[in-house]
């Protein structure tokens, strides 16, 4: 077996190998590109493939990324897949060992699986990939939480907001789509209230239409909701957040519905609400249902 860095030459072959061997996730090429080269922390040293000695075919793939967080750097295993004909031969273990060694050299003290926000494919390990659970637990990872993705059937729901928007207006709360000129104002507020979501909100300004709605009271931005800022092209909603001051007034519901309605107009038939969070809220406003469950794992390095 040969391990080498992932690059453009083997992009299509690697994407295909992952598609054929991750039965719950048929990741299309455009999405595989967004997850790999499209990641602003993409690091070829942490993105490796295993080639079969005999015919140079890609039979294993791992992608690690490092993110700067408020409390220091965190290493993530962002994607991992081994061809099902070559499993239980130590291929994933060897790929993983390279990435973990590099994390250690970088003085990283925490590794998490998949949930490498803002650009991530899944918010944890899907336990129906039972081999992956066995694999990560064998390598010393501990489950610390779980989370789910919800799904909304856009065609079956009506997301009209006119009346609610008028009601909010009479209480001096204005819902609007920010323009490019208002980006700085919005991001300054996001930085104070929802620091971790700056990159995603920022990404919304690159879409056409800008895939973001906000609410203001007394000329102060106090709530937002966004869509199509991760796994772009697949109908992902979020993130969204309402300042404590404005909670319980129906603002979040309106901003959610403005996004879902626009996604429907753009032709999406379903929306994924990932890494949730307040399930009853999404059920109430959008009849959202649990679509998938993820177990969150971490490993602390000394």
Ligand X SMILES: CC(C)(COP(=O)(O)OP(=O)(O)OC[C@H]1O[C@@H](n2cnc3c(N)ncnc32)[C@H](O)[C@@H]1OP(=O)(O)O)[C@@H](O)C(=O)NCCC(=O)NCCS
Q: Which parts of this chain interact with ligand X (CB under 6 A)? A: 21-22, 80-82, 87-93, 125-126, 129, 131-132, 134-135, 138
φ and ψ at residue 12, rounded to 5 degrees: -65, -40
Nearest distance, CB of residue 33 and ligand X, angstroms:
19
* CB contact burial 76-85 (16+ within 10 A = b; e otherwise): bbbbbbbbee
Strand order in the sheet with 2-5: 2-5, 47-51, 58-69, 72-82, 110-113, 289-300, 142-153, 270-276
**What is the residue whose two structure tokens read 């973001």?**
212
Nearest distance, CB of residue 202 and ligand X, angstroms:
28
Q: Nearest-CA neighbor of 242 among 151, 138, 136, 168?
A: 168
22 versus 251: smaller Cβ distance to ligand X: 22
60 versus 238: smaller Cβ distance to ligand X: 60
Nearest distance, CB of residue 66 and ligand X, angstroms:
20
Nearest distance, CB of residue 204 and ligand X, angstroms:
27
Q: Which residues contact 267 (CB under 8 A, 6 or more apart)?
A: none
Backbone dihedral region of 72: left (phi > 0), alpha (psi from -120 to 50 degrees) or beta?
Answer: left
Cα separation, 199 vs 298, in Å, equals: 23
Nearest distance, CB of residue 65 and ligand X, angstroms:
16
81 versus 288: smaller Cβ distance to ligand X: 81
98 versus 183: smaller Cβ distance to ligand X: 98
> Which of helix, strand or coil describes residue 241?
strand
136 versus 213: smaller Cβ distance to ligand X: 136
Nearest distance, CB of residue 238 and ligand X, angstroms:
20
76 versus 268: smaller Cβ distance to ligand X: 76
Q: Nearest-CA neighbor of 231 among 12, 19, 33?
A: 33
C-alpha dist (Å) from residue 72 to 66, 68, 119, 127: 10, 6, 18, 28
30 versus 128: smaller Cβ distance to ligand X: 128
Nearest distance, CB of residue 3 and ligand X, angstroms:
12
């Amino acid at each position: 077996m040969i391990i080498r860095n992932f690059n453009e030459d083997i992009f299509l072959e690697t994407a295909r190998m992952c598609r054929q061997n991750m039965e719950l996730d048929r990741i299309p090429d455009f999405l595989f590109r967004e997850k790999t080269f499209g990641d602003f922390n993409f690091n070829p040293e942490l993105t490796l493939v295993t080639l079969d000695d005999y015919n140079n075919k890609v039979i294993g793939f791992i992608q690690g990324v490092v993110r700067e967080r408020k409390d220091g750097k965190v290493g993530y295993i962002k994607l991992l897949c081994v061809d099902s004909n070559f499993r239980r031969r130590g291929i994933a273990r060897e790929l993983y060992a390279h990435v973990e060694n590099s994390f250690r050299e970088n003085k990283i003290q925490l590794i998490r699986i998949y949930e490498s926000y803002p650009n991530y494919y899944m918010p944890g390990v899907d336990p129906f990939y039972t081999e992956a659970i066995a694999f990560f637990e064998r390598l010393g990872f501990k489950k610390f939480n779980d989370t789910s993705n919800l799904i909304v059937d856009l065609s079956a729901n009506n997301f009209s907001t006119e009346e609610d928007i008028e009601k909010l207006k009479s209480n001096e709360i204005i819902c609007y789509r920010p323009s490019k000129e208002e980006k700085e104002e919005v991001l300054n507020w996001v930085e104070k209230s929802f620091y971790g979501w700056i990159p995603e909100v920022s990404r919304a300004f690159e879409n056409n239409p800008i895939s973001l709605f906000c609410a203001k009271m007394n000329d102060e931005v106090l709530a937002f909701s966004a869509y199509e800022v991760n796994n772009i092209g697949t109908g992902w909603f979020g993130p969204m957040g309402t300042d404590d001051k404005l909670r319980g007034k129906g603002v979040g519901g309106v901003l959610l519905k403005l996004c879902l309605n626009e996604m429907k107009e753009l032709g999406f038939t379903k929306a994924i609400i990932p890494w949730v969070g307040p399930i009853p809220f999404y059920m109430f406003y959008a009849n959202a249902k649990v679509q998938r469950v993820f177990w969150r794992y971490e490993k602390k390095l000394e």
